[in-house]
Structure 1
Amino acid sequence: MAAEAGAPWLVGGGALGTLIAERDWSDSPLGIPARWPAVLTATVGLMLPAHAQIVLFWGPDYVALYNDAYAPTIGSKHPRALGRPARENWSELWDDLEPLLRRVRETGETVFAESRPFYIERHGFGETVHFDISYSPVRMPDATVGGVLCIVAETTGRVRAEAALRESEARFRTMADHAPVMMWVTDATGACTYLNRAWYGFTGQAPAQGAGFGWLDAVHPDDRRAAADAFDTARACGGPFRLEYRLRHRDGRYRWVLDAGAPRFAPGEADLGFVGSIIDIDDQVRAREALTRDHEALEAEVSARTADLQAANARLTAEIEERTRIEEALRQAQKMEAVGQLTGGIAHDFNNLLTGIVGALDLMQTRLTEGRTENLGRYLGLAMTSAQRAAALTHRLLAFSRRQTLDPKPTDVNRLVEGLEDLIRRTVGPQIVLSLAAAPDLWTARVDPNQLENALLNLCINARDAMPEGGRITIATANRNLDAAAARVCDLAPGPYLTVEVRDTGTGMTPDVVARAFDPFFTTKPLGQGTGLGLSMIYGFARQSGGQVRIISEPGRGTTVRLYLPRHDGGAWNAVANGAAFPSPRAGAGETVLIVDDEPSVRVVVADVLLNLGYRILEAADSAAGLHCLQGPERIDLLVTDVGLPGGMNGRQLAEAGCALRPGLKVLMITGFAETAATGAGDLPPGMQVMTKPFALDSLAARVKDLIG
């Protein structure tokens, strides 16, 4: 039956309109549509194109007619329910449904309910579902009720989600009430809706006083504004909340607490408010304050002692001649006495450097307090220069002790020497003739290029000092294969080595001076013009690199210092390309770095640098906490760890444990003192690297991005 055949009320009726037109209605209590009452056809014509879910139950048998939007609601009952008495297809809920329909027919009133439950079988099994319903009468011309028009909206998903949320809230509160720390919850408006037993136990308040007002009343009056502002800021940006403030204890005193919270969301990302915890940190804060006082007292004591030392130095000036006479005897004393002497000198150097750093920062602070910005760049430069000199001093000590962290690379030694030529010429002066004797086809060496440059520059300075009237310095390179006998003389393993020689035409050395040249603190220079660390540093660097250093010299015939370096099979490292400066690379989506270091300042600096580049950061203060993070479910792309750690494992052991737990984990170890734990017996495995403290922050960013790939 098409609209053209006399059924215009079916126009736009969708699939159900077509089904009504094509159905055989001879077996339906309604009969054929051509004989339906005008009220019925008009109601069906309005119902069919509607997007709301609508079913019409007509007549005393409640014959069902419905639209396309309603059909999915009854599942497998469609299409057999169309045109049939409702009792046939809604038998499982008829005892529930029939009274509702009868009430509308008998009273003519509309029945409305929200999320009303019904038990229905529609997908081959029975289930309880929920609907918002509006059952309205459809009146005949004589005002009697001809049918019931039911507009419904299924709310089963919402009802189940709300029930799950209520159950989750109940479980949370049960858990929180037994938690050892204070916990709190707010609603989406920011009002505090829950405080656990630990909170009431700490503050001594009674729960009957109300959760919302009790929290702010217990905060110290001087801290309330900051606490409220911090929480409002967190709510505005949808981020975490973290603040230290004072909270009134049940004994009436205010104690420092750490309050941290985070937003919570319902399924579908609906804002539910915040949940957080409060930890008593009063003892830690008091300890920090005591430490600050002790530090200030120590600084005062150091100042007083410095004044005493200056006075003592004036008195010691008269004793210089006597000290000069006994200097040689002191050099022969036990090594610990010599180490003590060195420590005093290093402390003096460090005090000078710290004076430059602290003084520059003091001036910067004064200028900023006064609101003045002139000379800030100058003072910042002074502080950076002093800090870099301090770092260089520690590297010299590490080289002497053979515990520096080397960064060996395949190196073209000829190219390195050529790059140093101009610097060496300017350093030794015009009275010295410099010549290079580079071996053709020189092998590649595996060595730290920066340390090799330092060693060569140091040797050239020594050579210059041995030629006060001028002379010649020659830097020569060569390939050498050491057999067993030659290797034994050099205390090396047999095999291929490169040699780099620095020759001079100076005064030369006697055999006893050659024998002691590498001894720590030994120097032939006048008092105050040499520490005796230069050759010791070069010796430590050569041995740590897997090589050796030898001196050939005679009085009046000059000196040759020969460095043996291990050969590397393969191409050389491109120093220019690797040293180029690039903008700090940004993190990829979700990339996470775990930072493990017992020094809070290091964690703060590294975390801030990486956070600014978009990385997600996890932190741990010892190896036990770091291992716990590695065992957890969090994504971790890179482990950044100090070598020396408390907690039962060093950095190398933590890295190995992390790689076992997370195959393919990348590791960057940062250290200021490389013990054997850093590299073990040999090279680090792929995906594991070492950086020496202090380091440039852009270098750190580049190394992190390179490791994560």
Structure 2
Amino acid sequence: MKAFLASLDPTPARIVTALAAMVALCLAGAVPLARFVFARAAMEASMQAEAKLAATVVSQLASQNPELWTFEEARIRGLLTMLAASAEPAWRRVRDRHDALVAEQPAELVPPLLSVSAPIYDSGVVVGRVELGRSQRPLIVDAGLTAIPAAGLGGMAFAVLRLLPLRLLRRATALLRAIGDCSPDPIVVRDVEGRLLFANPAALALIGATPAQGGGRDDLAWPPDPAQAAVARANDRRIIATGQAEVVEEAIVTAALGPRLFRSAKAPLRMDGGAVLGVIAMSSDVTQIKAAEAALQASEQRMRRIFDASPLGIVVLAGADRRIQQANPAFCRMLGDSAADLLGRAMRDLLHPDHAAREDPAGLQELCLVTKAGRTLWLRMSCSVFGETQGDTPLILAVTEDITGQRDLEAALRQAQRLEAVGKLTGGVAHDFNNLLSVITLNAEMLAEDGDAAVARAGSEIGAAAERGADMIRRLLAFARQQKLRAEPVELNTVLLDPAGLLRRTLGEAIRIETSFAPGLWIIRADPSQVQDAVLNLAINARDAMPNGGTLTIATANLTLDAAAAAASDVLPGDYVALSVIDTGDGMAPDVLEHALEPFFTTKPPGAGNGLGLSTIYGFARQSGGTLTICSAPGRGTQVRLLLPRAQETDASAGPKPGLRPVIPGQGHILVVDDDAALRQALVRQIISLGYQASAAGDGPTALALLRSGQRFDLLFTDEVMPGGMSGSELAEAAGALQPGIKVLFTTGFAKPVTEDVSRQILHKPYGRVGLSAAIHAAMAA
């Protein structure tokens, strides 16, 4: 090296002095600093990897409930000990999401300390963190130990070379080699041809050479890896050409350690004249650091993919007003907006004006938002606080789920349950009213046949009032889905022709009626009279909602419901025919719409309606296997849609309608059994007036006593449901055993059949004289 330097400059003493000064400064300052920086980065990467590994393992024992962590303290402490990646002293701690200490592996450490942490997840929610700390004192001591000989030897080299003549250059070279021997990192000097001029032992060990073999050797050609060698030589040539120092990363296959990655600080080597003689390089092995960085980057990419691909909405909030910092695609789709438009917006700006969020965003809550299109959106939001903060306010991770459909289904279920409860109550009340109406009707018909005109007129008026009461009971039973329907195949477009024509004449000129009957409409199975009544009722409601006139539209359409749509409408999947009645009236407020299907609920003034219209239609639709839905808003009119199931039959013709029947007198002894005394007395009078003999009993045991008394009866006329522990069916069976051949006629105030035996003859209450005589005659003739 002495000959090389002497050949390049006539004043080698100055050259040696400059080189000595550079080496001294480099060794005294850069070497210890680089040693400490690289060692600290390696320690931090190792600690971060260990903390993440510990967090992954501890997450198997973690829980979102902090009270459960105490049961796992010993196991967590054992895991921390087993997962220790280094024998160096360190303390390890596990904290829950409230920053409470769960488990700790203590250690006595000398400051300054280096600490890292890694979050613990449970089902995607941060529930705690793992903390790891080590002392940096060994790094500082190591760097200091490196700096002391470097500074001392550098100073000595500078002083010696500054004073010694050129003949002492060989001894100075030996001294520089001694300085290089103190550095654990490779230090090399190469000339412009790439030949090795100087290499410390750490560098020679990497290239598999001894100090005697180092001079003049091209270390980058060993072992022969053309691609890596070409990259390194290109870096040297660029530095020589530009004369600028650089920090580069080079992958080199070393003899001692195999493939390694080095971060090298390279600078041009200049003489007094400014000519670049070669390159001096100080390198540090960063293989482990880069591996840790790559693992961290892969983890971040993996989390980004999870963030972007999650079907749940994920949003990061920051600041006191909870402004959106990040939003994944699922959250953007829920709001119908882009991420760019959502970023920076406060969550309170997205809330529905009628709903407010809790002040504390942590935990689980349900929020009502308004989408970009104006649609109401319900979200279930689970919030957790990040460890990192922005200013004084921590970041919040919110995971959201669209529960709008779920809430709609729950509301529909609550409505259906409420209507079902009212329907059951209505059916029970209707039974008692049927008994009362039967008494009134039978007695009114007897009065109507009185010779006194005034009495007959009063009887007729009472009978008409009873018939109106019976009609109201039928409407109540229709709502309760207990009405007897005469279902038959119906072509809906044909059935609607008569009501549509009638409406044009009765609703008035201020209301324009439009029809939209779908061609090829499927046949339904329903009671045609109920369909017509439904249309008339809906049209009258629409007229009342349009006092200043408007448009009424009656439309039909075929509709096929899949499983999801059928569940939303609370019907079975399949084919349906939709009958829609649409008006352009005032519409309904939400509180009115909520109760619209309840019986006796009306917004009309007293005397203008009894509140049974919509409830009756709803009961008819449900009893027919369909449903009724209402869509309305103030100022937007109302659409009532009736869904009726498609019939299997293709014949839509109806059978002949029965004509009026006369009163049929007869003979025989009839045993009347009913627990209602007033009805029992009225029945006895009517039966006697028809020419029969009649005996009466208030319950089953009393009737059995009469049957055992020796009296012969031709017909047992009994109520089905009675007190006393014996039903009408049980009484009929006992009567057949006591008097074989006795005929039986059942009666009931309940609309639903009390027995599955369709051969039994049943007279439903309320009934009049004509119906009673016909039923008795049919039973006696059976």
The TM-score, its normalising length taken from structure 1, stands at: 0.40
Indicate the structure whose relative CO is greater, using CA pairs within 8 Å and at least 6 residues apart.
Answer: 2
The TM-score, its normalising length taken from structure 2, stands at: 0.36
Larger radius of gyration: 2
